[in-house]
Structure 1
C-alpha cells in the first residue's frame, strides 16, 4: 500500500532543471559549494525514488545532499534530504529507517523554527510512517497534532496527506464510509494543486474502500482513473500497485483471465524495478487467482515464491498473511498435515490481545481529539462574548460624553443599547444551556457506557478471553463513532461560519449521499445559488438540518425507492426544502403516528414555518418544509 510522503514548500530556484536527465547533467557539471546544488540533489533523489525505484542509488544521493547541507548550515536542505530519505525507505518497505528519517526531519524543522505549515507537514509524514509500521496509536496522535496545528493557524489549503492518512486509518478500522469522506477531501486538494501522483493515490484508496463495501464496479472505475493519473505522473511503481488492486477486484468478480493479466502486468513492472516487496505481493495474488481456478500446483508455486521473498526481507506482516494463505490452500487440497503445519506457524505470529488494545487506544485518541475540538469552540465563544462586552462598554463611555450636548438623544440611545445588551446576554445564556443540554443528551450517557465497557474489556482480557473482549471493543467503536458524530453536529451548529442556508444544504448533502449509495438510490441534490446570501440563526439552522436528516432517514429506511431528490428553493422570500422519492408511499391517515412527523412538524413551527407531507401508496412521497427568510 502506497501513501504520499512529500517534502514541504519548495525553495527550488528557477535555474535548477526539473527533468530527471537534466538534473543528472546538472549535478555532474556543477561544484557542490552552494545551496542550489543541495536542492538539485534532493530533487534528483526524489525523482529516482518515484520514477525509477532505484532505492539504493536514491539513498546515496540523498545522504550526500544531507552532508553538504549540514556543512553549509542549510536547514531547509537538511530537512528535505531527510524527508526524501523517509519517502525512499517507505516505498522500499523499511519502516524503522522511515521512522528515524522522518523523526529527524521533524526535529530539524522545529530546531530551525520553520514555518507552521512545514512543521504540520512533517507531523503528517511522521503519522504516515507510524501507520506503515502498524503503530496506529502513534500514527493517529501525529495526524491529529498536524490537524490541530492547521486548524489553529487556519492554514490554507489544508495538507492533503493529513486527510489521506486519517482516511486510511479509518479504513483499517473498518469504517470505509467515513474513510471515503476524508479521501475525497485529499483528492480535491491534490486536484487543486494539479498533482496527478497524489490524485492517483487518493483514487486508489477510495477504490479500496468501495471494494470493502462490496461495490466492485465503483472500485474498478476509481482504479481506472487512478492508473491514468499514475501514468501522467510517470510512476511505474504506483501503476504496479493499482494493477494489483484491479486484479483483486476482478478475482472477486470471477473474471479470472482479466485478473491474471492485470497482476502479471504488475509483476512485470516489479521485476523490471527489482522490487522484491512488490514481487512478493504479486506472486501471492497470482497464486490466489490460480487457487480460485483449482489449479493448485501453480497456486502452491507462486505462494511459496511470495513467502520466500517475504522471509528474505523479514517482512513479518506479509509472512503472516502468506503463511495463512498456504494453510488455506493445503486445506482446499485436502493435505491437512501441511495445512496444520502452516496454520500453527501462522498462529505463533499473532498476538490478538495486543491488537485489541492497540485498536482501543486508537479510538480513545480520536474521541479525545473530538472532545478537545469541542472545548476549543466553547472557549472561542467565551472570548467573543468578552470582546462584545468590552465593545459595549466603550460605546457607553462615548454616549456618556455626549449627554451634555443632547440629553434626550443620549437617554434614548442608552435605553436602546441596554435592551440590545440584555438580548445578547439572553442569547448567550440560551446558547450555553443548549450546548450543555446537547452534551448531556448526546455524549454523557454514551461516555458512561464506554467507561463501563472498557472496564469489562479489561476483565475479559485478564481472563484470557480475547474473542469476548473483541466484541466489547466493537461496541466501544460504535459508541465512540456516535459521540464523534454528535459532537461534530453540535460544533457545526454553533459555528458562526455556517450561518447560511447554502451551508445547511451542503451539510445535508454530505449526510445523505453515503446513505443513498448503500441502498443504490439514484440521488439528486439541488440548491438555489442565491441562498448563500441569506444568513440564518443557529436555531433555524439546527431545526432545518434535523428535519432534513429525519426525512432522509425515513426515505432510506422505509421508502424502497430507486430515485430520490432533495431541493433547496427560494420563492418570493420563502424557503422551500423539498424531499421527494418514487418509493412505495403510504396511506395519509397513518402518518400522524409514524416516522417522527410530529417532531418534524414541531421543529417547522418553532422556526415560524410549516410542514406538508403528500404520499400515495406505490406513487412515492413528497415532503415540503416552508419558512420565511429575511
Structure 2
C-alpha cells in the first residue's frame, strides 16, 4: 500500500502545468504562423492584382510590381502560382515594349516552372502568348506548335472558352501562312464555341479576325457583316480602342474599292478614337499613320505620304517587325515609281523583298515582284520585266488570288503589247478584265477596258474599239464618283439634272456616230466621204454645244461666286463664314471634275474621229480629188476644236480657291471684314505658288480665325501677317475680350471651343505647328508655322 507523499504530488502538478504551458505555446506559435501566412498571402494577391491592373496602360508600374512580387516569393521560399504568372506577365510586357528576346526568355521561364509544378492553366496561357510572339516575329512554325500545345492544355484544364480564344489566334496564323481553308475552319470553330457559351465579349475577337480574312479575300459584303457585329459589340461595352480598330479596317475596304474620301474619313475617325483612349501602344499608332499615308499617296500628296510612312517606320524598326517594315518600303517604292524615279523605287522595292524573304511570305513578295516588273516594262527591258511578272503570276495562281491576278494579267498584257504581240496582249487583257469583274476591282477593270480598246484600234476593229472605250469611260465615271460622293454630295444634287441631260445628249450623239461609222465602212467611197463629212458636222455641233454649255456653266459659277462674295458682309455679321468656305471649295472641285470629264469623254471621241479621218486621207486624195480641199478644211476645223477643248481644260484646272490665288483671296476677304467697321492691318508677302491643298487649308484657317475674332472675341482691330520661305508663317492678332484657354480643353463642341479644334486639325494635316495665346480681357494671338519643303 502506497503512502501519501506530498512531495510527489507537487512534482506531478508541476509537470502537468508545464505540459499545459508547452501546449499553449505551441498553439500560440501555430496561431501566429497562420495569421502570418494569411497576411502574406493577402499581400501576394494584392501585389499580383496591382501588377495585372497596370498592364498594358502603365508598363513601368506593371513591371515594377511584377518584379517585386517575383523577388518576394523567391526570397520567402514560397510555393505560389503567382511566381510563374509574374514571369508570364513580364513576357507580355516586353513583347509590347518591342523586346522579343527578353519576352521569349520570360515566357520560357514561366513554361518551365509551370511544368515543374504541373500548373496546367498557366501552361495553356503561356504557350498561347509565346505563340503570339512567334507569329509577330515571323517564326510561324514555332507559333503553330505553341498554339497547338496551348489548346491541348486548355482542353485538359476544361477551359473551353480560353481554348476558343487560342483557336481564333490559330486562324490568324493560318491566314498569314496562306492556308485559307484551315484559317476559316479555325475562325468558325472559335465563334461557334463562344456563341454557344454565350460569351459575347470574347466572340468579338473572332468576329474581327474573320472580317479581316474575308476582306483580304475581297468578300467585302461578308466582311462588313462581321465588322458591324464587332463594332456594335465595342459600342455596347464602350471599348474605344476596339472601335478604333474596326473603323480603320472598314476604311481598308473603302480604300480597296477606290473610295479614298471615305477611307480617309474612317482613318481619321479611327485615329481620333485611339487618341481619346490614351493607350500607350506605338504599334497601333504606327498602323494608323501608315493608313493615312496610303490615302495621301492615292490623292497625289507624295511628300505628306512619305512623312507619315517614315513616322510609322521608326516604330516598326523599334519592334523589329519585318512584315510592316516591308510594307513601308513597298509603299515608298510605289511613290517613287509614280514620281518617275525608277532607281529610288527599285531600291525600296528590294528592301521590301529582303524583309518579306525573312518571313517566307510568298504572297507579299509577289506583290513587289509585280511592281518591279512594271518599272522594267517602262524602261523597255521587256525580258527582265517578264521574269518578275511570271514570279508574281506563279504565286497568285497557286493561291488562287483572283484580285491580284487581275493586276498581273494587265501588266503581262502591257508587256506583250509593247513587244507588238497584240494577240497575246489581248488574251491577257481579257483575263485581267474577267478577274477584275469577279473581284469588284474597279481600278483594274477601268484600265483593262482602255487597254482592250487600244488593241482593237491597232487591229482596225473600230466598232469594238469604240465599244470598249465607251465602257471604259462609264467605269471611270463610276470610280470617280465612288471616291468623291461624300465630299461633293451637295454640289452633285445641284448639278445632277443638268449633268444628266448633257450626258444623254452626248451619249446619244456618240451612238449615232458609231452607227454611222459602221455603215460608212461598207459604202462606196463617195458615199463614205459624204457620210464622214456629215459625221464631222455632227461632231463640230457637239463640240460647239459642249463648249457653249461649259462656258455657260462657268459664267453661272462665276456669277454665283460674285453673289457669294457680296453676301460675305452679311454672312460675317450672321456668323456663317464656314458656309462660304465650303461652297467655294465645292466649286473648285466641281470645276476640276468637269475638266476631267471633258478630257476623258469628249477628248477620247475626238481622237477616234481624228483617227478615222487620217485613215481616209490617201483614199480621198486619189479617188475623190474634187472633195479633198473640203476634207482638208474639215481636218483644220477638227484641229481647232482640239485646241479649244485643251484651252478650256487648262483654264478649268488652274483654278485654286477662287482662281486668283491665296493672296488675292485673303485680301478680298479682309476688305469685306473692314467694311463692317473693323480696323484690319495686314502684311501679305507670298513669293511662290503653293500647292492647292495648302492654299485651301490656310484660307480656311484664316476664315475661322476672323470669324472667331468677330463672334467670340468681339474685336475691332485685327492684325494679320502672312509670308513664305522655308516655312509658311501666319500670325493673326486681335484686341478683343479673349477667353480662358482651359475652357477649350474640357469643351466638346466647336462653339464652346471657339473653333480652335478646327484650325489645329487643319494645321496638323499640313505637318505644321499651332500656337495660341489668350486670356480673358487680353485678346487672342495665333501663330502658325507650316513647312513648305
Greater CA drift, 148-157 or 190-199: 148-157
Match of 1:475 among 648, 656, 659: 656
The equivalent residue for 1:118 is 242
| Alpha-carbon distance change, 27 to 295 in structure 1, aligned in 2, over 3 angstroms | farther
Give distance in 2, aligned partners of 1:75 and 1:286: 48
| Alpha-carbon distance change, 149 to 283 in structure 1, aligned in 2, over 3 angstroms | same
Give the deviation of 1:473 after TM superposition. Answer: 10
The equivalent residue for 2:314 is 188
The equivalent residue for 2:256 is 132
- Secondary structure in 2 aligned to 1:349? helix
Give distance in 1, aligned partners of 2:784 and 2:597: 47
Match of 2:145 among 15, 22, 34: 22
- Conserved in 2, the CA contact under 8 Å of 1:86 and 1:99? yes
The equivalent residue for 2:463 is 337
Give distance in 2, aligned partners of 1:357 and 1:205: 23
Note if 1:145 corresponds to 2:269.
yes
Give distance in 2, aligned partners of 1:14 and 1:347: 57
Deviations 1:141-178 (A, max 9, x none): 22111222233444432522211221111222122222
Deviations 1:57-112 (A, max 9, x none): 42232122122123334455422212211221222112222222222222222223
Give the deviation of 1:312 after TM superposition. Answer: 4.3
| Alpha-carbon distance change, 179 to 362 in structure 1, aligned in 2, over 3 angstroms | farther
Match of 2:177 among 48, 51, 56: 51
Give distance in 1, aligned partners of 2:276 and 2:218: 34
Give distance in 1, aligned partners of 2:476 and 2:305: 26
Note if 1:355 corresponds to 2:480.
yes
Give distance in 1, aligned partners of 2:580 and 2:245: 36
Note if 1:218 corresponds to 2:344.
yes
Note if 1:227 corresponds to 2:339.
no
Deviations 1:527-556 (A, max 9, x none): xxxxxxxxx9999xx99979xx7xx97xxx
Match of 1:13 among 120, 125, 129: 125
The equivalent residue for 1:236 is 362
Give distance in 2, aligned partners of 1:269 and 1:357: 31
Deviations 1:181-215 (A, max 9, x none): 11222222222222211111122111111111121
Match of 1:452 among 573, 584, 592: 584
* Within-5 A mapping of 1:514-529: none
- Conserved in 1, the CA contact under 8 Å of 2:409 and 2:429? yes
Number of residue pairs aligned between Structure 1 and Structure 2: 420
The equivalent residue for 1:88 is 213
The equivalent residue for 1:107 is 232
Note if 1:98 corresponds to 2:219.
no
| Alpha-carbon distance change, 544 to 297 in structure 1, aligned in 2, over 3 angstroms | closer
* Within-5 A mapping of 1:351-500: 351=477, 355=480, 358-359=483-484, 361-362=486-487, 451-452=583-584, 454-455=586-587, 471=652, 475=656, 479-484=692-697
- Structure 1 or 2, whichever has the larger Rg, is 2
Give the deviation of 1:243 after TM superposition. Answer: 1.0
- Secondary structure in 1 aligned to 2:126? coil
- Conserved in 1, the CA contact under 8 Å of 2:191 and 2:206? yes
- Conserved in 2, the CA contact under 8 Å of 1:89 and 1:98? yes
Q: Which has the higher contact order (CA 8 A, sep 6+)?
A: 1
| Alpha-carbon distance change, 26 to 325 in structure 1, aligned in 2, over 3 angstroms | farther
| Alpha-carbon distance change, 488 to 220 in structure 1, aligned in 2, over 3 angstroms | farther
Give distance in 1, aligned partners of 2:587 and 2:436: 39
| Alpha-carbon distance change, 543 to 91 in structure 1, aligned in 2, over 3 angstroms | closer
Deviations 1:305-349 (A, max 9, x none): 222333444544433332222112222444433322322232343
* Within-5 A mapping of 1:615-630: none
- Conserved in 1, the CA contact under 8 Å of 2:257 and 2:442? no
| Alpha-carbon distance change, 212 to 26 in structure 1, aligned in 2, over 3 angstroms | same
Give distance in 1, aligned partners of 2:439 and 2:772: 60
Give distance in 2, aligned partners of 1:347 and 1:292: 23
| Alpha-carbon distance change, 47 to 479 in structure 1, aligned in 2, over 3 angstroms | same
Give the deviation of 1:124 after TM superposition. Answer: 1.7
- Secondary structure in 2 aligned to 1:265? helix
The equivalent residue for 1:429 is none
Give the deviation of 1:448 after TM superposition. Answer: 5.1
Deviations 1:262-293 (A, max 9, x none): 11111111122222222222222111111112
CA RMSD of aligned residues (A): 4.3
The equivalent residue for 1:307 is 433
- Secondary structure in 2 aligned to 1:475? coil
Unaligned stretches of 5+ in structure 1? 1-8, 366-439, 492-507, 512-535, 554-630
| Alpha-carbon distance change, 58 to 219 in structure 1, aligned in 2, over 3 angstroms | same
| Alpha-carbon distance change, 357 to 71 in structure 1, aligned in 2, over 3 angstroms | closer
Normalised TM-score (structure 1): 0.57
Give distance in 2, aligned partners of 1:231 and 1:59: 25
Give distance in 2, aligned partners of 1:338 and 1:95: 32
- Secondary structure in 2 aligned to 1:113? coil
Deviations 1:541-593 (A, max 9, x none): x99979xx7xx97xxxxxxxxxxxxxxxxxxxxxxxxxxxxxxxxxxxxxxxx
Give the deviation of 1:260 after TM superposition. Answer: 1.1
| Alpha-carbon distance change, 463 to 68 in structure 1, aligned in 2, over 3 angstroms | same
Greater CA drift, 73-82 or 100-109: 73-82
| Alpha-carbon distance change, 347 to 360 in structure 1, aligned in 2, over 3 angstroms | closer
- Conserved in 1, the CA contact under 8 Å of 2:337 and 2:345? yes
Give distance in 2, aligned partners of 1:98 and 1:61: 16
| Alpha-carbon distance change, 544 to 68 in structure 1, aligned in 2, over 3 angstroms | closer
- Conserved in 1, the CA contact under 8 Å of 2:772 and 2:783? no
Note if 1:61 corresponds to 2:186.
yes
| Alpha-carbon distance change, 228 to 355 in structure 1, aligned in 2, over 3 angstroms | same
Give the deviation of 1:239 after TM superposition. Answer: 1.0
Give distance in 2, aligned partners of 1:223 and 1:488: 39
Give distance in 1, aligned partners of 2:463 and 2:385: 31
Note if 1:295 corresponds to 2:415.
no
Give the deviation of 1:252 after TM superposition. Answer: 1.6
Give distance in 1, aligned partners of 2:373 and 2:469: 26
| Alpha-carbon distance change, 151 to 137 in structure 1, aligned in 2, over 3 angstroms | same
Give distance in 2, aligned partners of 1:473 and 1:82: 48
